Amino acid sequence: MLPRREPPLSQVLSSGDPSYSFEFFPPKDDAGERALWAAIRELEPLQPTFVSVTYGAGGSTRARTVRVTEGIAAHTTLRPVGHLTCIGHSRTELRSIIGQYADAGVANVLALRGDPPGGPGAPWSRHPQGLDHAVELVEMTCSLGDFCVGVAAFPDKHPEAVDRDADARVLAAKARAGARFAVTQLFFHADDYFELVDRAARFGCDIPVIPGIMPITNLSQVARFAALSGSVVPATVVARLEPVQDDPAAVRAVGVEIATELCDRLLAGGAPGLHFYTLNRSKATREIYANLAVGVT
Cα atoms in the Cβ-side hemisphere of radius 13 Å centred on 82 = 30
- Express each pLDDT in 140-154 by its tens digit: 999 999 999 999 999
What is d(CA 114, CA 84) in angstroms, rounded to the nearest whole number? 9
What are the beta bridge partners of residue 95?
none
At 10 the pLDDT is 82
Helix, strand, coil content of the chain in percent (nearest 5): 45, 15, 40
Active-site residue 23, yes or no? yes
3-state SS class at 44? helix
Domain regions of the chain by residue span: 9-291
Annotated catalytic residue, options 6, 23, 261, 287: 23
- The DSSP call for residue 243 is G
| pLDDT digit string, tens, across residues 36-51 | 899 999 999 999 999 9
Would you state the pLDDT for residue 1? 40
- What CATH code would you report for 9-291? 3.20.20.220
User: Whole-model pTM?
Assistant: 0.89
3-state DSSP call for residue 246? coil
What is the rounded CA–CA span in Å between residue 264 and residue 294? 11
